[in-house]
Amino acid sequence: MKIKTLFTALALMCLIGSISVATAQVTKIGTGLDPAVYGSKVTWSDTAGSIHIYDLTTKKNTKISSSQASYPAIYGNKLVWHDESSGVPRITVYDIPSGIRTFVTQDIDDKSIPHIYGNYLVWSANDGVYLRYMSPSKNVKSTQTQIAIGYSPDIYGTKITYTSDNGDMPSVYVYDVSTKKTILVSTGGVPYNSQIYGNKVTWSDSLTGSFIEMYDLVTKKIIDVTNDISSNPDGSQAGTDTGSCYAIYSDKIVYTKISNDLFGNAGVYVYSISTGQSTQVFNYPEEVYTTPDIYGNTVVWGFSSNYGNSPVSGNSIYVCDLTAKPVASFTTDQVYGTHSLPVTFTYTGTGGGTPNSYLWDFGDKTTSKHAVTATHTYTKAGIYTVSLKVTNSAGSNTATKSKYITVK
């Protein structure tokens, strides 16, 4: 799930800390740009314009030769990508078992980024949104239709989401292939890069600092996913750099944050829809643009092809298993003071699986099961050792800081 034009990214409402990039649960599987994942297969394009398919089970990397391939998408045994190897834009459809390539050449431009679900292929070109039914039978012709005026479509099942400038402001729509009906999802703000999974439609809004929003097609309600309405202590706006590159699968949204601020450090994050919490899974220097994708509990990411990513050398493709054992780590807002001393502790563990329980031990015979952050007041003078135990279905991990808090 990718976009070709990225925006200076968005905002975050969860307090999350920084990490080291050296974590056991994050694995480098190759080099390239704009990865996508489906099942056990990860695909990406390299700087030479070839496509790669990496099998997470066999750990085998297969290279598909090309000279101008980019933005691959994958579903089942079909790969699609934007291709200018012939000198003009087209979309390549590649059958993985047979290696047969076919091409879509009608209504394609240099911004046509394909998305695929089953036998349906969607893309935009010259302000039009197009749907192609790729017939699996030789006796039935494939068909192609313009379904809307708009751009940046995504598809799940028979539903296609896209953005259109039909009105005074851009809006998000959903088109149902089976009923041929279109509904308006959002009319406010400046939305872009809409995505869909099941009955959830998400998009980025860049009207006021930018943030990710989500619409439920059943409840017809909109919620903010990463919306910061706070300010830094100096009065400046905080957390305005997350959400331009993201993807959704089931209960999870993965996204990129490109600068450090009060609400966390630059890197790759996973947001849980059910809990409303974000967890950082990888740390990057500021101003590094990545394009994450997710399938099940597998998160992949690599550099965006639209940016040089100058703070980091190389074009590494990474994968993270969210079911792995979590990594415990934490920070505080202060470690020294006079009693009574209130201290806020923040979970900052990254690179492993997402915890589903947190147990804080503040060192003064007091414990807490608060998630992500916990505030504790030390009422007596002393030097205290603090620990945090995090747990998920894969196991637990504990971080202990000896003689960490000093209270006079």
Q: Please state the φ and ψ torsions of residue 343, each to the nearest 5 degrees.
A: -130, 135
pLDDT digit string, tens, across residues 212-249: 889 999 999 998 887 655 555 555 554 555 666 789 99
Fold agreement between 26-321 and 330-407: no
The chain-wide mean pLDDT, for the chain, equals 86
Closest CA to 43 of 20, 66, 25: 66
Give whole-number Cα distances, 270 to 178, 298, 366, 370, in Å: 32, 11, 30, 19
Cα three-residue angle 307-313-319, rounded to 5 degrees: 85
Q: Tokens 């639209």 label which residue?
A: 306
Between 234 and 315, name the one with better pLDDT: 315
Strands 395-407 and 336-337: parallel
Distance CA(276)–CA(308), nearest Å, equals 32
Rounded mean pLDDT of 54-71? 95
What does the pLDDT read at residue 5? 34
Handedness of CA 252, 321, 313, 21 (dihedral sign): positive
In the 8-state DSSP scheme, what is residue 96?
T
Q: Which pTM was predicted?
A: 0.78
Q: What's the pLDDT band for 300 if we cut at 50, 70, 90?
A: very high
Cα three-residue angle 53-58-59, rounded to 5 degrees: 60
What does the pLDDT read at residue 1? 44
Distance CA(198)–CA(38), nearest Å, equals 16
Q: Which CATH number does the domain 330-407 belong to among 1.10.10.10, 2.70.98.40, 2.40.110.10, 2.60.40.10?
A: 2.60.40.10
Residue 121 has pLDDT above 90, yes or no: yes
pLDDT digit string, tens, across residues 327-363: 899 999 999 999 999 999 988 876 667 787 899 999 9
Give whole-number Cα distances, 219 to 200, 222, 268, in Å: 10, 9, 29
Per cent of the chain over pLDDT 70 is: 86
pLDDT digit string, tens, across residues 129-164: 999 999 998 888 999 999 999 999 999 999 999 999
Tokens of 372: 């992500």
What does the pLDDT read at residue 402? 96
Residue 7 has pLDDT above 70, yes or no: no
Q: What type of residue is 272? A: S
Closest CA to 251 of 319, 350, 322, 346: 322
The structural domains of the chain, with segments of one domain joined by +, span 26-321, 330-407
CATH class of the 26-321 domain in this structure: mainly beta
pLDDT digit string, tens, across residues 239-294: 555 666 789 999 999 988 877 766 677 888 888 888 887 778 888 888 888 899 99
b/e sequence 1-24, b meaning 16+ C-beta within 10 Å: bbbbebeebbbbbbbbbbbeeebe
In the 8-state DSSP scheme, what is residue 279?
E
Rounded mean pLDDT of 60-76? 96
Give whole-number Cα distances, 211 to 12, 52, 93, 204, 248, in Å: 7, 32, 33, 6, 15
Q: Is 31 helix (H, G, I), strand (E, B) or coil?
A: strand
Q: Please state the φ and ψ torsions of residue 123, each to the nearest 5 degrees.
A: -165, 175
